[in-house]
Homo-oligomer: A and B are copies of this chain.
């Protein structure tokens, strides 16, 4: 069996650490694992199974000899290091938004368009977390009949803002319980017991960058260039899992029964849809695991061909680290 030399760029962040966990869980065929981060983190020791790995400063020279680089850093850092990664002959599986919409860069959710991995030129992008979770939930519907449009409202966990998100929510939760002042550093406003209807920055139409990803990345991943998505992204005081309320409009009319039957057997998904016994997806139940839970499946009431549903998935895992490691696994099967 071929073994691979893998580097994680941004190894000390929330997604980077989760990538390490997923690599081990999946017994990824590793010859070497190199942990790269900023100079500030260099020298830090991180346990990896029985071993202890030392974090190294990421420089242009860090990628020599690597087969795969998993990117868990910012878009700016991804752009900075991409030329060195390609020059070293490694494939860059990047979780940032830097290259997602470039024509020569595949944007991949393995269960949806895994075959696109083969078209890479040294870079493969990991999609936006809410987009991954939503597409996982609707891919079975798209197999029954192509999706034309979606209306989505997200309920996004604080982990989506990086390691600072859960720390800030916990600190504010404690402050509320103790009646001490609330501090805001990661989020612009208090997030404990509040909602913030802004994730990313605004475009001229009034949509945020995060909201437009659902349409733009969705078109590329589903190979549906005409897909239309109206999306509203909202930060909620939940730790790890994102939830999405989505109405899907398809070319053909589908019944709830056929949709439910299709979604019950979809790879990477679990149908949790038994209203009579109060069984539906909740973010607390989907955290720290890889499946996207789907439920509340019912007919849309405004259009002819619509299905409404509710889904939850762990944003750090399937929404980021797990999806990237799955892409790396596809590379080992090439």
Given A206-B298, A283-B195, A302-B150, A234-B177 contact (CB < 8 Å): no
Report how far A302 CA is from B247 CA in the complex, Å: 12
Binds B, one of A113-121, A136-144, A235-243: A235-243
Contact of A296 among B206, B256, B275 (CB under 8 A): B206
Alpha-carbon separation in the docked complex, A263 to B75 (Å):
38
Residue A289 is within 8 A (CB to CB) of chain B in the complex:
no
Q: Which of A215-268 contact B (CB under 8 A)?
A: 215, 228-230, 232, 234, 236-239, 243, 245, 247, 249, 256
CB distance A198 to B237 under 8 Å?
no
- By the criterion CB–CB under 8 Å, are B247 and A197 in contact? no
A contact patch SS? mixed
Instruction: Give complex CA distance A198, B190 in Å.
Output: 26
Residue-wise, chain A 173-201 has the 8 Å CB interface mask toward B (1 for contact) of 11011100000000011101111111000
Q: How many residues of A contact B (CB 8 A)?
A: 61
* Contact A215-B301, Cβ < 8 Å, known A237-B193, A237-B237: yes
Query: When the two chains form their complex, are residues A245 and B153 in contact, meaning their CB atoms are under 8 A apart?
Result: yes
Q: Which residues of chain B are within 8 angstroms of A63 by Cβ–Cβ distance?
A: none
Contact present for A197 and B295 (CB under 8 Å): yes
Among A206, A247, A297, the one with the most B-chain Cβ atoms within 10 Å of its Cβ is A206
Take A299-B205, A302-B228 as given contacts and tell me if A189 and B284 are in contact as well, using a CB distance cutoff of 8 Å: yes
Evaluate contact between B280 and A238: CB separation under 8 angstroms.
no
Q: Which residues of B contact A169 (CB under 8 A)?
A: 193
* Additional 6 contacts, C-beta under 8 A, given A155-B236, A193-B237: A151-B151, A189-B278, A195-B282, A202-B275, A205-B298, A205-B299
